[in-house]
Amino acid sequence: MKLDYDVKYGLEGVAVAISSISCVDGVKGELVYRGFKIEDLVENSNFEETAYLIWFGNLPNENELDFITSMLSKKRELPENIIYMMENFPKNAHPMEVLRSIVSILGMYSNNDNSTLEDAINLTAKIPTIIAYWYRIKNNLDLIHPRDDLKHSENFLYMLFGEIPEKSELFDKSLILHMEQGMNASTFAATVTASTLSDVYSIITTAIGTLKGPLHGGANERVLNMLDEIKTKEKVENYLNSLISRNKKIMGFGHRIYKTYDPRALILKKWLSNMNEKVKYFDIAVKVEEEVLKRFESKKIYPNVDFYSGILYNYFKIPKEFFTTIFAMARIVGWTAHAMEYCKNNRIFRPRTIYNGPKNLDYKKVKEVERNG
């Protein structure tokens, strides 16, 4: 059959928008937010400043940074009713399920029917509280309420553990690494929802549902499962042989755009190798990387951001089922920036499928339907 349209499964190589938010160079292995290299941003910036950059397009001056910092710090608390609901959720609910559901419910508490930066900031401020409250509720611990005198990531770690751990600046920088990455699956899902002129809560609910999948943000949790299963670096080769012989993908490797080292993975690996103490899982991960690079040289499969991020979160004693929520806590900035940018020249997304089913069948009443076998 001659097709009038090309089918691009997974939209590989298709551009759906023109954007000035970030540039992902998959050949050189470079990532740039609004013109600034990711390496410079993690070296010099913090969550609040980079969020401002991504939302507004330029680095903030002092007043602007104070503005965004104070907006984010004042909106952290959740409505009482929502806390009550969370306390009654099944304790085995996955943190991503809880996050997706509470973000959706928060939409009922907003007065805005359409997407606004105010709602984007409101949700960005509240997502860490949802995650931390769920951690405390799940573990039968008293809630630790947010403080408005702490920075975004310090406050998150404080709400989780009641104290701010050493090296918390690395956690903050890891959020910068996850904030934005062009038209990835969850950002695309967010943009599709935005293109219908829906509200920010619906946009972010869509995005969280998409991020949750193991081929996207859910990979970071699976990487730790894999490292747990491998147990020692001596067992890496056999483990990989078994995966590869069953045609299973190796979590934390491969990327649609990066056909070289993902710069975010390189940065995370450098931080982990520079720690003074031995970091759990790191030696096994390095061995996995070495073996995968050898075996998949021709396919250009390299570690992606999810390969080393979980090892860092584990270092901060964050349980692995919470890893993808931390990805969401950072990526909301990119999701909302893309949604707002796209809507400036909005056109609703409406691709098509090419029908290859039957036509002109005769309708049969239910009693006449016969099924073979």
Least CB distance to ligand COA at residue 239 (A): 13
Q: Which of 69, 187, 210, 304 binds ligand COA (CB under 6 A)?
A: 304
> Who's near 154: CB < 8 A, 6+ residues apart?
164, 168, 172
Is residue 148 annotated as part of the catalytic site, yes or no? Answer: no
DSSP string over 181-227: -SS-HHHHHHHHHHHTT--HHHHHHHHHHHHTSTTTTTHHHHHHHHH
> What is the Cα 353 distance to its own chain's centre?
28
186 binds ligand COA (CB under 6 A): no
Enumerate residues 306-335 that contact ligand COA by CB under 6 A: 306
- Residue 11 Rama label (left phi>0; alpha psi -120 to 50; beta): left
Under a CB-based contact definition with an 8 Å cutoff, are residues 32 and 163 in contact? no
Tell me the residue number closest to ligand COA, measured at CB. 254
What does the per-residue mask of binding to ligand COA show for 48-67, with x meaning CB under 6 A?
Answer: --------------------
183 binds ligand COA (CB under 6 A): no
The site for ligand COA, by CB under 6 A, has a size of: 17
The token pair that represents 14 in the structure block? 């298709």
Q: Which of 194, 250, 272, 337 binds ligand COA (CB under 6 A)?
A: 250
Q: In angstroms, rounded to a whole number, what is the distance separating the alpha carbons of residues 47 and 54?
A: 11
Q: In angstroms, rounded to a whole number, what is the distance separating the alpha carbons of residues 201 and 191?
A: 13
Is residue 255 annotated as part of the catalytic site, yes or no? Answer: yes
C-beta neighbour count of 225 within 10 angstroms: 13
130 binds ligand COA (CB under 6 A): no
Q: Which of 31, 102, 176, 251 binds ligand COA (CB under 6 A)?
A: 251
What does the per-residue mask of binding to ligand COA show for 206-235, with x meaning CB under 6 A?
Answer: ---------xx--x----------------
Least CB distance to ligand COA at residue 179 (A): 14
Q: Which residues bind ligand COA (CB under 6 A)?
A: 10, 215-216, 219, 249-256, 299, 301, 304-306
